[in-house]
Amino acid sequence: MSAQSLSGRRVLAIGPALAQLADGPLAGAAIEQATLARLIGVSTTDAELILIDADAWADNALAAGVQALALCPAAPPVLLVGSHLPTAVVRNLLRLERSDVLDAPYSPENVAAAIEGLLAQKAPSAAPAPAPHAVEVARCWAVIGAVGGAGATTIAIEVANQLCARQTKEKSVCLIDLHLADGSAGAYLASSPTLRLPELAAAADKLDASMLQAFVTPVTKQLDLLAAPRDPAAFEAVTREAVLRMLEIACESYDWVILDMPRHRRNWTLEALGGCDEMLVISELTVPALLAARSLSDEIERDLGSGQKPKIVLNRLASRMFGPAPSMAEAERALQRKAEAGVSSDWEAAAASVNLGGPIATHRPKSKIVKDIQTMVDRLAAQAVATKAA
Ligand SMILES: Nc1ncnc2c1ncn2[C@@H]1O[C@H](COP(=O)(O)OP(=O)(O)OP(=O)(O)O)[C@@H](O)[C@H]1O
Ligand SMILES: [Mg+2]
């Protein structure tokens, strides 16, 4: 882009170091230096282009700034630059109609080319058609057990299967088992895990959508599984960057991504959760599990610091509450919040499905587990569509 073509154009620069671009790719532009707070309610009447320096801000503040942009009905095109680009922020940014990301080190020519590309895109009209090269990013939900055996894998599989039933496209849902050492999703689905972690670690920086396919196990026409073979040293065989890159590429390759998350924290856990649209903490109806669910969701909410809150799902609700098990109301008192959903107990259906291999919906479609999860997925998916349309 020549200095001439930016001449007189209003550019909002979020980050003091961007001032140095005034003599290069931003030459001739009318630059307004501002902080992230300026992004609240910003529109094309304020600026024709927004440049954000990711390195100038704390991750939480940056995430909040990008969320504010997502709420603007007529946001200008946005270019995010920096050497530290949090995955969650990048994913949310790519959901904007006109956005791009430049990873440092970059040259003035790289910046100019990215700006030129953004300004060449038409502003979305009232009824926007999808841009041909827009990156569609998956909706990503994480499922995490409050205690061992709470039913996280069972629920993750049923949720993934319910989402498949809503899709017409092949390969639209990916279930990722992040219990890298001893995940059970492959065994529950009678599928052989093919995520070879040493190869993933070696290929991480060049991993792309086609390479990712070498690691997935197709389960049905619509469902793919990313799971690693059993290996006690699996967590050490892969780097944080490799795990996050795999999640990023999966989110670009599928419409829905479901994460079966380990409950013990890894160095990639928070960033993986931060990139999710929903986090479901699965608890059973025992006092220790409910207390663990409360603590786990509080810890996640506190450590993410982005305002994202996990939702608690109560699993194995018995239809008749005799004996000392807490009722749903008592459970919510212990949790100090409402539960998002309850899933009925049905040992026969759960056991039949793992023994035969496949979702409960396939082997026992009339089970209450299937109905309860369908109700929950209907509600969460409707919220996801509403958020996307907003
Ligand atoms: N709603 C349910 N009714 C009856 N049995 C269930 C239900 N949900 C899960 N189960 C059973 O509970 C057991 C544990 O479930 P699952 O493996 O899904 O738990 P998890 O939280 O993933 O465990 P882990 O901590 O090992 O990852 C399995 O035998 C499963 O079939
Ligand atoms: Mg599990």
Which domains can be identified in the chain, with CATH numbers?
3-120 (3.40.50.2300), 139-389 (3.40.50.300)
Which residues line ligand 1 at a C-beta cut-off of 6 Å?
145, 148-154, 184, 315-316, 343, 345-347, 350-351, 354, 369
- Nearest atom within ligand 1 for CA of residue 369: 1
Distance 145 CA to ligand 2 centre (A): 7
In this prediction, residue 387 carries a pLDDT of 60
Cα 278 to Cα 131: distance, rounded to the nearest angstrom: 26
In this prediction, residue 125 carries a pLDDT of 55
Atom 29 in ligand 1: which residue has the minimum CA distance? 351
In this prediction, residue 313 carries a pLDDT of 97
Distance 291 CA to ligand 1 centre (A): 18
- Nearest atom within ligand 1 for CA of residue 149: 23
In this prediction, residue 127 carries a pLDDT of 43
Instruction: Return the structure tokens found at 205.
Output: 């920086």
Distance 367 CA to ligand 1 centre (A): 15
CB 14 within 8 A of CB 65: yes
Atom 31 in ligand 1: which residue has the minimum CA distance? 350
- In the chain, the percentage of residues whose pLDDT exceeds 90 is 67
Task: Give the neighbor-by-neighbor strand order of the sheet with 10-14.
Answer: 30-34, 10-14, 49-53, 78-82, 99-103
**DSSP-based three-state secondary structure for 142:** strand
- Nearest atom within ligand 1 for CA of residue 155: 18
Distance 153 CA to ligand 1 centre (A): 7
Cα 325 to Cα 345: distance, rounded to the nearest angstrom: 13
Pocket test for ligand 1, best of 143, 144, 147, 153 (most atoms within 8 A of CB): 153
Cα 154 to Cα 343: distance, rounded to the nearest angstrom: 11
In this prediction, residue 172 carries a pLDDT of 94
In this prediction, residue 123 carries a pLDDT of 72
In this prediction, residue 132 carries a pLDDT of 41
Statement: the pTM of the whole predicted model exceeds 0.75: no
Instruction: Return the structure tokens found at 107.
Output: 């040259």
Cα 304 to Cα 277: distance, rounded to the nearest angstrom: 13
In this prediction, residue 177 carries a pLDDT of 98
- Per-residue pLDDT of the chain (390 residues), as tens digits, is 444 478 889 999 999 999 999 889 999 999 999 998 888 878 888 899 999 999 999 887 887 788 778 777 788 999 999 998 887 788 778 878 899 999 988 899 999 999 999 988 877 654 444 444 445 678 999 999 999 999 999 999 999 999 999 888 899 999 999 999 999 999 999 999 999 999 999 888 888 898 899 899 999 999 999 999 999 999 999 999 999 999 999 999 999 999 999 999 999 999 999 999 999 999 999 999 999 999 999 999 999 998 899 999 999 998 655 566 678 888 999 899 999 999 999 999 999 999 999 999 999 999 999 999 999 999 998 876 666 545
Torsion sign across C-alpha atoms 150, 154, 158, 164: positive
Task: Give the neighbor-by-neighbor strand order of the sheet with 217-218.
Answer: 217-218, 223-226, 173-177, 256-261, 139-145, 278-284, 311-317, 341-344
C-alpha to C-alpha distances, 150 to 202, 208, 220, 225, 324, nearest whole angstrom: 34, 34, 26, 21, 18
Instruction: Return the structure tokens found at 157.
Output: 């599989």
Cα 170 to Cα 373: distance, rounded to the nearest angstrom: 22
Cα 160 to Cα 377: distance, rounded to the nearest angstrom: 9
- Nearest atom within ligand 1 for CA of residue 350: 31
CB 172 within 8 A of CB 338: no
Atom 4 in ligand 1: which residue has the minimum CA distance? 347
Instruction: Return the structure tokens found at 108.
Output: 């003035």
